[in-house]
Amino acid sequence: MEIFQQYHIGERCLIVDIHFSSKPELNAQVDELCGLVNAAGWQVISSVSAKRNYPDPKYFCGRGKLDEIKQQLAACDIELVVFNHSITPSQERNIENVLGCKVIDRTRLILEIFSQRAQTYEGKLQVELAQLNYVATRLVRGWTHLERQKGGIGVRGGPGETQLELDRRMLRQRIAQIEKRLEKVKKQRSLSRASRKKHSVPTIAFVGYTNAGKSTLFNKISGAQVFVKDQLFATLDPTLRQVNIPKLGQVVLSDTVGFIRNLPHDLVEAFCATLEEAIEADLLVHVIDYADPEHLAYIEQVHQVLAQIHADKKPILPVYNKIDLLDNVDAGVYYRQNKPSEVYLSAYTGQGIEYLYEAIAKFFNQQWLKGVLVLSPQHTKIRAQLYQLGVVEKEQIAESGDYHLAIHIAKSDLTHISQTNKLELMANFSQDDSL
């Protein structure tokens, strides 16, 4: 069932940017919209902007503004209009009826880019799931030209309703099928993470605004060949690599999809499986484009998305990238002044990479505990939790019945177990790990 229309590379489009003074959360930068359009492989031929207090419930930007857009479409021979906002199915239908051309919103544009970028089996499943959830609310529009049921006892439905119900059932079945497959992928990832925890391998996830240089930095450190390009959402699929960090040892790095301003909540939900590497990581390296004048606003946007996926409580190491594009930025001086909370570097030239290694090593050396924990016989529940985490390296049982467990555990995990069981475990912990 082909219900999600694909657009051609080089598609000519007009972009619409409406600034709402009473609803600033709806506003997004027009430059970013142009970047998204270019990332989709389309051409921005013309643009229309306006200011309103509230979105028009029927036409979103108002009927008068639509007449202006229609004139520009005719003058420039354009058949595609892109809104820098999310619009409702009814608004989309009303706007298309007036303009006589295809209209897509910000969410649909991002989905178009995601469908082009996904390479792995999991990524393609997530894109298809997001597309199906999006199109489910707009399915009725595809059959308005067919006969509709008028109602009444004994009246049979026309072919339009039959086809509509058939497509709805097919959508529901396909969505359930994809969700089942993604759940299987999620379990496989969970097993891999449990194995890493069992072997005390720290995990680090690279997060940040799209086009901040995450993949470039990831490649520089890991030697991977993740696709890198100066465009929004160049990387979609997550990549994991095991690397050696000086003064620390082996760690697992993961590169995740970039965040963006006003990323629709439905898309965040659809890509939670990909973002699980960030949710479950021991440390988040927040890569920031320090050369971008808007970097402070982008930092806030990243924190908002992290809150959406419940990863905002994770330890974060800010990494200010692209210092090679700025004057008078010395990576060593900046790092020593802010040690160890911030790192300044250039992923492109490699300047300052050693300070990132040092900051990561310092974090994990301070945040991980290695030693012996003594538990009394009645605390078998805590013992079971430690084994479930895979942090027990050796165990002996004393003549008194106490458990002596040699563990290597994240300080946050030990604190969580202590709080859950209302028992101060640090009092029974010794950094002498000899049994």
Least confident of 48-62, 75-89, 272-286: 272-286
Q: How far apart are CA 372 and CA 74, in angstroms?
A: 76
Are 359 and 396 in a shared domain? no
Q: Find out whether 113 and 35 touch, Cβ atoms under 8 Å.
A: no
Are 209 and 160 in a shared domain? no
How many C-beta atoms lie closer than 10 Å to residue 295's C-beta? 16
Are 24 and 98 in a shared domain? yes
- Determine, yes or no, domain membership for 192: no
Q: What is the pLDDT of residues 201-249, one digit of tens each?
A: 788 999 888 888 888 898 888 876 655 555 555 555 667 888 888 878 8
Are 164 and 209 in a shared domain? no
Are 260 and 285 in a shared domain? yes
pTM, 2 dp: 0.69
- Determine, yes or no, domain membership for 279: yes
How many C-beta atoms lie closer than 10 Å to residue 145's C-beta? 7
Question: What percent of the chain stands above pLDDT 70?
Answer: 80
- The residue-averaged pLDDT of 409-416 equals 81
- Determine, yes or no, domain membership for 78: yes
Are 89 and 225 in a shared domain? no
Residue 17 sits at the vertex; the CA angle it makes with 16 and 23, to the nearest 5 degrees, is: 135
Among 365, 396, 421, the domain-final residue is 365
Q: What is the pLDDT of residues 145-192, one digit of tens each?
A: 444 444 444 545 555 556 667 777 888 888 899 888 888 877 777 776
Output the domain CATH number for residue 221: 3.40.50.300
Question: What pLDDT is recorded for position 22?
Answer: 67
Q: What is the pLDDT of residues 319-339, one digit of tens each?
A: 999 999 998 888 888 777 766
Count up the domains in the chain and report the number: 4
Question: What pLDDT is recorded for position 185?
Answer: 78
Residue type, 13: C
Are 339 and 222 in a shared domain? yes
Are 217 and 177 in a shared domain? no
Are 147 and 290 in a shared domain? no
Buried b (16+ CB within 10 A) or exposed e, 321-342: bbbbeeeebebeebbeeeebeb
- Determine, yes or no, domain membership for 359: yes
Among 365, 385, 407, the domain-final residue is 365
Task: Tell me which residue range forms the domain holding 414.
Answer: 376-430
- Determine, yes or no, domain membership for 124: yes
- Determine, yes or no, domain membership for 331: yes
Are 349 and 217 in a shared domain? yes
